[in-house]
Amino acid sequence: MGSRPSPSRGPRDPALVGQTLVVIGGSAGIGLATARLARAEGASVVLTGRDPERLRTAATEVEAISASAFDAGDPARLRRFFEELPVPVDHVLVTAGRPSYGRLLDMDAEQAREAMSGHVTLALEVARHVAGRVRPGGTLLLLGGTGARRVRAGLGTAPAVTAGLALELAPVRVNLIAAGFVDTPLSARLLGDGLDARREELRATLPIGRVVVADDVAALAVHLMTNTALTGATYDIDGGQQFVG
Ligand SMILES: NC(=O)c1ccc[n+]([C@@H]2O[C@H](COP(=O)([O-])OP(=O)(O)OC[C@H]3O[C@@H](n4cnc5c(N)ncnc54)[C@H](OP(=O)(O)O)[C@@H]3O)[C@@H](O)[C@H]2O)c1
């Protein structure tokens, strides 16, 4: 029996037409890359960030329908931002905040508080505003590091928090992206003069033979927005770093 040629697939429709993405921390790095990709998939985007000039430049690039400069760590300002949103929301991505490295016992009280609760506190504050504001089936997307996966020096409870929020916010979906090294302005700031050496080391040691970039994370984020089977889960994106590092 001869096999029939399979019908060729035409270009697919953009995945996020008619949907709105809010990026808390969208003027650089992973947030901006995700805003770009979501825009290319037909979404409207709303951006926030602290630095007004950087935010303006990013908002112009992705034709954001609105942009607000404020510190997402300020709960009152965050509440006002959500209350004043001009449109219904389908997806919220939280990239604001930065990772904490090092041993908890080497930190002073304030550093330890930030290391243990910084990301989680912000995620919970945003989650409060997502409830009732994001449409059913939409997503809250959080960002953390692969370090939260294992018990070691330092702490990470984000996967459990993500799963708990997915139950509390249903039918809104909640997922966590756990990244290894991603080549972004944050990594450049943290590594300073050591950035090129770190890139080289990762190219030489990672199973994927290259460094992970913000566009890689953006592709995962858009998949998590569109695949309505996914909630309560943590998705590693590190090029295999956790198995060789
Ligand atoms: N890059 C990595 O290797 C890596 C690895 C694991 C996890 N992560 C996590 O992924 C997230 C994004 O990282 P990234 O590398 O894309 O960082 P990035 O390049 O520094 O970009 C962060 C974005 O968020 C904004 N932002 C930061 N803090 C904010 C705040 N308090 N309020 C409002 N906006 C804020 C920044 O703008 P302003 O500075 O102007 O506010 C910028 O637009 C972070 O949570 C980070 O911990 C990153």
Could you read off the pLDDT tens digit of each residue along the chain, which spans 245 residues?
445 656 667 788 999 999 999 999 999 999 999 999 999 999 999 999 999 999 999 999 999 999 999 999 999 999 999 999 988 999 999 999 766 666 767 888 888 777 766 778 899 999 999 998 999 999 999 998 887 555 444 445 688 889 999 999 999 999 999 999 999 999 999 999 999 999 999 999 999 999 999 999 999 999 999 999 999 999 999 999 989 97
Given the DSSP bridges, would you call strands 173-179 and 66-69 parallel, antiparallel or unpaired? unpaired
CA of 73 to the centre of ligand 1 (A): 12
d(CA 217, CA 226) in angstroms, rounded, equals 14
Residue minimizing CA distance to atom 47 of ligand 1 = 98
- Give this prediction's pTM: 0.92
Handedness of CA 30, 33, 38, 43 (dihedral sign): positive
CA of 178 to the centre of ligand 1 (A): 13
CA of 97 to the centre of ligand 1 (A): 5
